[in-house]
Homo-oligomer: A and B are copies of this chain.
Amino acid sequence: MKSYRKELWFNIPTRRAFLNITPEVEEALAESGVREGLALVNAMHISASVFINDDEPGLHHDFDTWLEKLAPHEPLRQYRHNDTGEDNADAHIKRQMMGREAVVAITDGKLDFGPWEQIFYGEFDGRRKKRVLVKIIGD
């Protein structure tokens, strides 16, 4: 069994954003030499997500609006977590809604995707360096 590990680093200039990281994951897969197996792609930070959905800016706007409605950033004082001096309780909750990780099948050396599947990094507390782990196992 082969295994391969790579960190992808990001520094998103805004508090929240969605970034298509499919090309970076495909590059890691090519580097791994794995033809059949599984790729785990996960946020290494607990106020960020990795998820698979559509690369359409209108939808990303809808995600952001929906997340802000269900777990608004403000008022900060509505969250006990922010009593610790943090201001990112909403980011921890938004990350739960969008998920930590995607597990993707690898078949014949490619990400085994349906027609519209793309991998996104979801940032909910940006403006600093954060990273995603790609771990690939297989033959």
- A residues lining the B interface (CB < 8 Å): 1, 3, 5, 36-38, 40, 42-46, 51-54, 56-59, 61-63, 66, 70-71, 79-84, 89, 92-93, 95-105, 107, 112-117, 131, 133, 135, 137-139
Contact = CB atoms under 8 A, between A and B. Distances in A.
B38 A62 contact: no
Copies in the complex: 3
Given A71-B66, A99-B96, A105 B53 contact: no
Contacts of A52: 46, 100
Contacts of A137: 36-38, 137-138
B100 A51 contact: yes
A86 to B, nearest CB: 8
A107 to B, nearest CB: 6
A98 B53 CA distance: 13
Contact of A53 (B96, B138, B139): B96
A36 B96 CA distance: 27
B114 A45 contact: yes
A97 B96 contact: yes
A5 B112 contact: yes
B45 A96 contact: no
Contacts of A117: 44, 46
